[in-house]
Structure formats: C-alpha cells, structure tokens
Amino acid sequence: MAETLLIEVGKTLAVDAAKALAHSIIGRASEEIRLAWGFRNELEKLRRKFEYVEAFLEDLGRSKQAHQSKLVDAWLNRFKNVAYMADNVMDEYAYEMLRRKLQLKLKMNDGFSKKFRNCFTLSSNNVVFRIRMSLKVREMLSLFDELDVEAKAIGLSQVEVAREVVRATSLINSGWNQAREHASGVDGCNGFVGRKDDERKLIETLCVSFNDVNQLPMAAIVGIGGLGKTTLARRLYDHHEIDTQFGDSKVWICVSKNFNITRLLNEMVEAVTSNKGDLSNKDGILRKLEEKLKGKKFFLVLDDVWNEDQALWDSLRESLQRIGGLPGSVILITTRNKEVPNAARAIYTHELVGLSEDESWDLFKHKVSIIDVSDLEEIGKNIVNKCKGVPLAINVIGCLLKSKQHSRREWEAIETSGLWELPQGRNQILPSLLLSFNHLPSPSLKQCFAFCAIFQKDRVIEKDVLIALWSAQGFLHVPSSETRNLTEECIGEEICSVLLNNLFLQEKEIEQDEVLSYKMHDLMHDLAIYVSRDLLLIKEVEDRQKKGDYRHLVFTSKKDEHELLFESPEAKTLRKLRTISFEGVVHSSNWWVHARYLRTLVLRSTELSEVPPAIELLKHLRFLDLSDNPIRMLPDSICKLYHLETLGLIDCKKLTKLPTVLARLVNLRHILTTTPMYASKGLAELKNMQTLPHLALDDDAQGWTVDELGCLHELRGEICIHGLEHVQDREQANKAAFYRNDKVMKLTLTWAKDREETSQGNSDEDVLDGLQPHPGITSLELKNFYGITFPSWIMNMAVVTPELIGGNARALNSLTMLKLQNCKNCQTLPTLGHLPFLRTLILTELDVETIGSDFYASSNKCNYDPGNCSVKAFQSLRKLVISSFPRLTTWMLPSEEVTIVFPCLERLRVKDCHVLKTVPALHCESLTHLKLHKLSSLESLDIVKVCTGLTSLHMCGMSLLTHLPDELANCRNLQKLEIVDFEKLVSLPSLQSLGSLQSLAINSRALITLPDDLFQGLSSLHNLHIYGCTDLTSFPRSVLELTSLKKLWIFRCELENAIPTELSMFRGLSELVISNYSTVSLRAMLEAVEQLPLLKLLGIDGFEDEQQMEEYFSDMTPFLRLQNLKELTLMGSSEIRSLPEQLGLLTRITSLNIWLFEDLEEISEWICSLSSLESLELRLCPSLKCLPSKEALLRLTKLRRLLVIDCPLLTESYVKDKGPEWHKVEHLNYIEVDGEEIY
C-alpha cells in the first residue's frame, strides 16, 4: 500500500511539473508568434503541435491505469525533453531578433563604425538563419509527431486543456484569491498556542539559574522537526525578561549544517554593529566583538544546529569567552539531534514534545478561525489527530482547510486522503505538507515552490531575487492576451503572497508593511527538494552518481567536486542544464562550451578574478550573479547576452566601472551592487531597468549623465548616486524626473567630500533643488552637500513638482528615515517635527548655531491629536543623532503650541558639539539610551532630570560640570552608567536607588573623594571601572558590599587604601586591574589575589621605576598559583626601559598587554618563553623601537594577534612589506596598527 502511494505521489508530481512546463512554453510560443519577423507560420505550426500533444497530459493526470505503466514514465520524460528543446529553439529565435534590432539601431547611428559592423557574423544573413531555424522547427514537429503516436499506443487520449496560464485570468483567479483571503502567514507564524510551561522553565533557567554561572553556560531545546523549537526560541528572544537582562546585546544566528566558527563570529559582528561582517581573520572578528560586548551580558541563539564535533564547540566557546562578556551571558541552541547538547556541553537540555490534544485543537481553531465548529468539529479533530501534535503540520493543514471556506465535502476529502498513510520514515516529508502542496491551485505555483530548493537551508531569500530567478526560468510569462499591464513582477508578487499565506515561505524582513525577504522552514525545504528531485541535483547533499534528466545543478560544497563533473563524460549532460549554482573556487573554463542553454548562473564567492570573454556563448542567460568576487573589470562580451535580466555584482569591491556598451542589454532589469560604479553613456536605453546600481558620476565626456534617468520609468526600490558635483545645473538635474517615479522608495544623494568649494555651493543648491523626489519616498540621505541653505523642498519637507506648479505642495509624509551628513555650510535645519512616520533622524556635520522652534513644527504643520487635544512633534521618532555641529550653541524647546515632543524616542545621541551649552529638558518618556559625548561647554544636564526611564547613560567630555543632577537617582531602571572625562567633577550624587545598575564607569581627575555610601544598594553591579581619578585620596568601604562584582578596574588613581586585603570578598571576580604606588601594597594585593579562583585577567598599574618592578616580580610564586589566569596587563610610567625577565615564567597566559611605558625601548627575548601566548598588545609606548628577533617570535607558535597603538617608532619599523622589521611579524594571522587592520 505504502509503495503504491509513493509511486502515485511521484507520478502526480511529474505530471504537474510537465503541465507547468507546457503551459509556460505555449504562452512563450504565442508571444514569439506575435513578434515574429517573417517566421510566423513556422512558429504557429510549432505552437499548435505543442498544444495538441499537451492535451495528453490531462488524460495522464486523470488516468489511474496509466500510472501503472513504465511506458508512461518514458513518454512523460520524452515530452519534457522535447518541450525544453522547443523552448531553446524559440529562445534562439528571440535572441536573433534582439540582435538584429540592435544591429539596425547601430546602423542608423551616424557614429556606427565599420569596426562594429564587422563584428556581426554570417549568422546574421537572413537566408542562412531562416534555413537553420526551419530545420530545427521541422525536427521539433517530427518529435511531436512521435510523441503523438506513442501516446496513443499506450492508451492516452486527448482532453481539452484549461488555459490556466495562457489566459490573463490565470494568475489572479478565484483559487488564488481564496488562498490569499483565507490564509494568513503572519497569523500562522506568530500564533503562539501552548508551550507556556516550556517558556516559563526556559526563562527561569536563562535569566535566573544561569545568572551567576561564569563559564558561558549553554541551554538546548531539542525535538523533532516541526515541533516549534525555533518559534519557542524566538518567543524567548523577544521576551521582556530577556530584554531586561540583556538589552540590545542579543544575537540570533541560523546555523544549519554549516558550523563554521569564523562565519558564526562574523554574523555576530553583523548583528551587533549593523554592518556586514566579512572579516576572514578570527582575531580581527573577536576584536570587533570585544569592542561591542566586553563588559556586557549577551544572549546568543544558535538556531537549527547539527554539529556533533565537541572540539568545534569548545573552540567556539573559547572564542566567545575571549570577548569579555559579563557572567550571566548565555547561549541557547535548538537542534533535532539529541547528541548535539552533549557535544556542546550544554548544562540544561529542554526536550520539546508534541502538543497535547487540547493544545493541538486550540491551535487548529486559531489557524482556521472557526467560530461555530459544531458541524465540522469531528472531521477537524480527526484531521488534527493525524498531525500527531506537530505545530507546523497543524498550521499548514489549517491554512489549507481555511481556504476551503468550511466546505464539509472538501474537509472530508482531506480527512480521507491516502497521503496520510505515507511512510514518513522513508522520505521525512510530513503528509500534511504534501497534502497542502498538492492542493496549491495551479501547476505554476507548484513549479515556483519546487524551484526554491536551490537555496540552502536557512538561507535568507530576498523577494526581488526570488522573483528574478523565477522570471529567468520562464515561470512568470505574461500572456500576450493580457490587457491590464500585468508584469512578471506582479505575477511573482502574487505567487510569493500565496506561498507565504500558506506557510510555504515565512517572513524574514519587513519594511513599511512590505515583505522584503523570506526564509523556509527546514521541513518545507525538505519538501521542496522532494518535489523537485527529478529536475534538481544538489551535489554534496545527494549521491554524486545520481542519474537523470536534471535541469538544475547546485554545488553546496566548497570542494572542487565540480571539476570532476566538468571533465567527465557526464559533461555532455550540461547541455540540458538551465541552472548552475556554485559555491567554492571555480577553475574550469571549458564548461562554458557545454552549458550553452543556461538561464541562471550563480558564481557567488568563487574567487573569480576575471570573467572570460566566452561568457558570450551563454546566449540564453537571464540571471547572472558574480557577487563577492575580486573582479576588476567586466568584458564587453558580457553585453552580447541580450536576454540578460539580472546582473548581480554585490560586494565586488574591486569593480569600479560597468561595461562600456552596457546599453545593448535592452532586457536588463536589475543590476545589484553595494559600491558605486561608473557607467558610460546609454543608460537611457535600458527601458526595462528596475533596480539601478549604485552609480558614480565623473567628468568623462563619454560617461553617463543624470538626465538619462528620466527615461527609465520602471525604476523602483533605491536610487543611490555619487559625484553629484558633476551635474551641470538645476535643469539637467530636473530631467532625472525623480518626482515622477512613485516606485522609488529610497534616495541617497552624495557629493564628493574632499573637493574645492569655490562657487560650488550655489551649484549644489541648484542641483538638489532639481532632484525633488515624489512625495511617497520613505528614506532620504544627503551627504557632503556644500550649499549654504537647503532648497525649499528640504526645508519644508514638501515637494512641488512641475505638475503641481500653482498648486499646493505635497508633504513627504511617508518618510521614515532622514540623514543629513557633512552639509557643513548649512546654517539652518529643516522643519521636521510634522513628519508623521519619521523613525530615524541622523544629523551630522552641519554649521547650525541654533536648533529653534521651527525644527519641531511651524504653525501650519502641526500634528493635532483631537483625542487628547494635543499637538505632537516627532510623534514616531525612535532614534535621534546630532553630531559634529561645531557652532551649535543653543538648543531650544518647542513653542508652547507643541504640547508633546518625541513621545516614542528611544535613543538620543548628542556628540562633538563643543560650544553647546545645554540639552533641553525634553520629556521623552520612552527614552532608554542617552549618549552625551564631548560636549565641553555644557552647563547643565536638564534632560537627565526628566528622563527617568533610562537604561543606559553615557556622559563624556563635560569640561565645565562640577556636579551631576540629584535626579539621576530617579533613573531606577538604569543598567549602565558611564561618567568619563569630567575635568571638574568634584562629587557624585547618591546611587543607592539604582538597584538595576550592572555597569559603572567613573573618570574625573577632579574627584577627591567618593561618598562612603556610593555603592550601597547596587546589588546587581557586575562591572566597576574607576580610572584617571588622579586626585582621589580614598575609596569608599561600601565597595565591599558588591559581592556580585565580576570585573573591577581601578587604575591611574594614586590610592593608598585600594582595598588589597579584602579582595577575597569578591570570589566571583574574573577581571581585576588595580593601581598601587608602593611595593608593600602591591605585594599585599597579590597575596589577596591568590584568593580569587575565577580570575582570568589581572592588570597592574603603578610601577614607578625598574627597581620597584624587579622587586615586585622577584617572587613569581603567587602568579603561578593563579590557575585560571589567561591575560596580564602591565601599566608603567617613565624611567622603565626594560621589563623583568621573570615574566617569562607565566607560560599559561594567552594575552599580554603592555601599556604606558614611556621609555620602554625594546621587548626582550624572555617573551618567547610564553608558550601559550596568542595575543600581544602594545599601547602608548612612544620609545619602543623593536620586537625580539624573528627566530624568537617563531617560537611563539600560538601567537596570532599583534596590536600596536600609539607607538610611532614601532609603527614606522613595521610598515607592511616596506618597514625594516616587517619580516619579523609577517607570519602572524592578524596585525592591527592604530585601529586599522593591516594584515
């Protein structure tokens, strides 16, 4: 029975795939006939014959008897082969038509030279081409005749075909609409039924039980696929208690089977910095993580983990411990494999089981939205029971039944389906998922979903890229009969919507209520691979000897396995391929000869440095991805790919210019880039262009000009232009016609930063005035604008387009992000407070003296809320940055008519405004993060008095302030407080009420005493830094109450009573840096340090001369007793020219930091005895000239990381590849000099 079911399922999938293929090719044939030049009859014959034979598919899909015959399999495979061949013939014809159109256009151009005329070969001769095409069509007709005879011989008969795809109603038919209306992807993903006990236990473990564990504890959620491990983990990740405990130090990584430590650390960098993590050196990555996470608790979720290698887990944990996160940092993993928690040394494993019957039924009702279930309850419960408590299965089947509009007959058909009897052990496909797939309302939908198998598991799938890939395969063909301007993109959007709503795809990133990217559940990905198995070969995942007429080939390994394939006899099968996707280095070039019928080629991250001219052989190519490769130039031969629709050049950092004859790619829709590129004239010819690359203007007479963009009416998404100083005037800028294009949502306009100003300022104003966008724009960035004033559309945030002249201006009310950067001559800010949806506002490097009331709102631009009779300004703003305003003296409150300002503001950063006297007392009830940095003229901290909801407060460089406001004590939620570089601060207020404070840093040279009760009540404090308080004479004894302290740094403070003997009170201490200015107190401190069993980092400050230092290290026994000590920091002064050789006995330490030794000239050979040393940091040692010999450094076999900061003589000697001492360190993995990675 099971075997029969599997065979039947396989046949059904094969027939559906053949139908989808037939429909798209017939639609294609109809379009080619419409556009044919003297070849109409031949193509019409081909189309009619195709339709004739296609009719047998309908009988094949209905006939049960036919399913038992192997002859049917053979016929079906032959049909698909012939169909693909016919498609290639039509594609070749279409290519030739495009080539001829271009030839004619060039001939009509007076500048068309003999050189270009000669580049067209004899194939352009009409007679030769007609003969060749006639022969190919004749061959196709003969093959279709054979299929006709064979079909009748095996008992198939013709059935009228419903033209689902050919007709214009095919893609917005009732079936699709029902699927969209009755299913909700958002609801399915976020509906959280049950699991309350699981959630409670895990929150208690993560936030309470793990809070004082020092060794970076790990918890694991284990269970079979579809149980909701990821959903539960996401629920925990977003839980308010996790937010309270970890703040913004949270990272989520989808791991899957690619457990590469460098990749995981890079993704952590990307998460905490919001910048792409693309470093290849592990030490460099850890350095960046340390900058962001040191001294903080972090929460790391590793989702969908399969790694059982304990050594890899230990290596990851060791790396994460090096970044210096606070104790209480936690790792949470989800996995199907019960062996993974043991390998990872998880100290808590939470095994997830299926939902109970009641929970399953509740989830089903929530999904189906049943109110009155009396007549369907019994059927529904029977169906739910078949899902065996698996939430994914219940959600998916719920989506399917919801689309059936509560039809009893259709519910019963689902209940009694034979697919429930499928043996899951053989294919790992949940019957409910296959049922839902079978009920998708068209073969085209099934075809598009199946193609998603080319993506690796857990890969983020960008919507625009997915639609472009479908288009490249011909899945989205628009019928010639369509009269409603339906585009392939519209069809792709519809398909995405249906797949999302039925949970075949899940939302990943949403912006402005629009889904930008998707992900696939693992089991859905398994389903996609299963249903595409006859057409898709995934090397490394599947048996390399797999035979078949596969059309798509994906390499998931970075091994050179593809070399063997291309060099083997099997290379001839490449002629059938329509997709090749590589991962890893590609050496072979001869494969281009074989794979001529490709529609999609992905060469991403293959270390490709040169695109061979032979790329022109791939005439059928629609989608070409060359991203993340060190390519320096593209050959002009790439512009002979006249069918090309998408060109991916993301992260091609060495590529600066697009091909000179790019205009020939008349079908090009998307050029995907992340860096600006120069282009030649002719962009205006690319009428189908939708996604514009980041473009750079220059003064080349043959370069593109901004007015060409006015001809590109299909542009959408983002426009990013650099080099706007090369735009002639307002008139040329206005011809770009941005105001007409309501599909462009983001606009970034950049002028060169380091240019002569002369009279350029006026030109900047004119150019910007001519670049008005349409009023629906959501993001606007202006960089390096040197005009004195902004044009009126910026000042008022409202545009007046040519169509509106004489009418009312239209406000930019859709704007959510605005950034004005280095507009250094602008003296007035625009009015911005009235923008209703503005969420992010970044203002840097402006010449503004006063932020006045007009900044918030003018009299006729107020957001009035009739509900509470209030007028709001910046009603949606979440983040505000004001930085580098050199002349800003005054920041005013809004006028009295504005009653509410910044009601949603969460983050405020004011930086490098050296003459600003006050930051106003803005009542920002939602403000949690406040950073006031280098405001040397600030006279008061009024804003701190009124913003009591702060969780993080950073204050730095307040030269005038002598006191902090007493109201600081009202910030009871404060977790992090930094008081840094206060030259005149003489006292601190009481902090007793700050019971949530976890991190405190104090740096003020004027502080003489600290209140005795300063640390009372700070039971949560883990991290205490007090440094540079050179006049501090005593230290409060209340520090002894900080029993939860993990990190204590007290240095550059000339204290005699720096609590040496009581250090044993802090038994949980992992880091200690302390100053003492007598040998006796240093020795006493060291004896106390022996009582700290968890100490990993020890820093010693206060060495006055070499004699004192020699005495201090004369007996190394106390150091050698510190079994866990891994990092040693030494801080000195002048008069120390060498370090004691006894330090070479510390063979356990992995990091050595040498700071502030003004007269230190060299690092002696003793350092080479530190056999465990991995990292060496040299900071502020101006006399240091050299390191030990290369031979000595080579003995440090574990040394990987060298950091040199403010050591000018050393820096000069070790210039990469040039310095006289460079050869000593060139073998190291990572070298950083003055904050810049050089190796």
SS3 call for 13: helix
Q: What does the radius of gyration of the chain's CA atoms come to, in whole angstroms?
A: 34
pLDDT (0 to 100) of residue 1173: 92
Closest among 1033, 1038, 993, 988 to 1012, alpha carbons compared: 1038
DSSP 363-400: HHHHHHT-S--TTTHHHHHHHHHHTTT-HHHHHHHHHH
Query: What count of other Cβ atoms lies within 10 Å of the Cβ of residue 544?
Result: 11
Q: Give the CA dihedral 1095, 1099, 1103, 1108, nearest 10 degrees.
A: 30
pLDDT (0 to 100) of residue 109: 65
Contact between residue 580 and residue 601 where contact means Cβ atoms under 8 Å apart? yes
E strands, 484-557, in order: 506-511, 514-519, 536-539, 552-555
What does the alpha-carbon distance between residue 169 and residue 178 come to, in Å, rounded to a whole number?
A: 14
Residue 310 β-bridge partners: none
Segments of the chain scoring below 50 in pLDDT: 1-2, 6, 64-66, 112-124, 161-190, 425-427, 483, 541-544
Closest among 358, 365, 357, 356 to 398, alpha carbons compared: 365
SS3 call for 1189: coil
What does the alpha-carbon distance between residue 327 and residue 295 come to, in Å, rounded to a whole number?
A: 9
Eight-state DSSP code of residue 574: G
Contact between residue 936 and residue 959 where contact means Cβ atoms under 8 Å apart? yes
pLDDT (0 to 100) of residue 120: 45
- Distance of alpha carbon 379 from the chain centroid: 44
Closest among 434, 529, 508 to 465, alpha carbons compared: 508
Read off the pLDDT of residues 1173-1207 as tens digits, 9 standing for 90 and up.
Answer: 989 999 999 999 888 888 888 899 888 889 999 99
CATH of domain 195-351: 3.40.50.300
Listed in sequence order, the residues at least 6 apart from 942 whose beta carbon sits closer than 8 Å to its beta carbon are 918, 919, 920, 921, 965
Residue 1001 β-bridge partners: 978, 1025
Pairing between β-strand 1230-1233 and β-strand 1201-1205 as defined by DSSP bridges? parallel
What does the alpha-carbon distance between residue 793 and residue 782 come to, in Å, rounded to a whole number?
A: 13
pLDDT (0 to 100) of residue 1237: 75
Question: Which residue ranges does the chain devote to CATH 3.40.50.300?
Answer: 195-351
Query: What count of other Cβ atoms lies within 10 Å of the Cβ of residue 1030?
Result: 12
Label residues 276-293 b or e (16+ Cβ within 10 Å = b): ebebebbbbbbbbbeebb
Listed in sequence order, the residues at least 6 apart from 499 whose beta carbon sits closer than 8 Å to its beta carbon are 445, 448, 449, 505
CA dist 449 → 492, 496, 504, 505, 949 (Å): 11, 9, 8, 9, 47
What does the alpha-carbon distance between residue 1142 and residue 1128 come to, in Å, rounded to a whole number?
A: 14
What does the alpha-carbon distance between residue 337 and residue 1199 come to, in Å, rounded to a whole number?
A: 36
pLDDT (0 to 100) of residue 183: 36
Give φ, ψ of 670 to 5 degrees: -135, 125
Cβ contacts of 544-551, under 8 Å, gap ≥ 24: 549/77, 549/80, 549/81, 549/576, 550/576, 550/577, 551/84, 551/576, 551/577, 551/578, 551/579
What does the alpha-carbon distance between residue 773 and residue 780 come to, in Å, rounded to a whole number?
A: 9
pLDDT (0 to 100) of residue 176: 41
Token pair in block for residue 705 = 């000009």
DSSP 273-315: HSS------HHHHHHHHHHHHTTS--EEEEEEE----HHHHHH
Contact between residue 395 and residue 433 where contact means Cβ atoms under 8 Å apart? no
Contact between residue 638 and residue 659 where contact means Cβ atoms under 8 Å apart? yes
Contact between residue 349 and residue 317 where contact means Cβ atoms under 8 Å apart? no
Q: Give the CA dihedral 16, 18, 24, 25, nearest 10 degrees.
A: -170
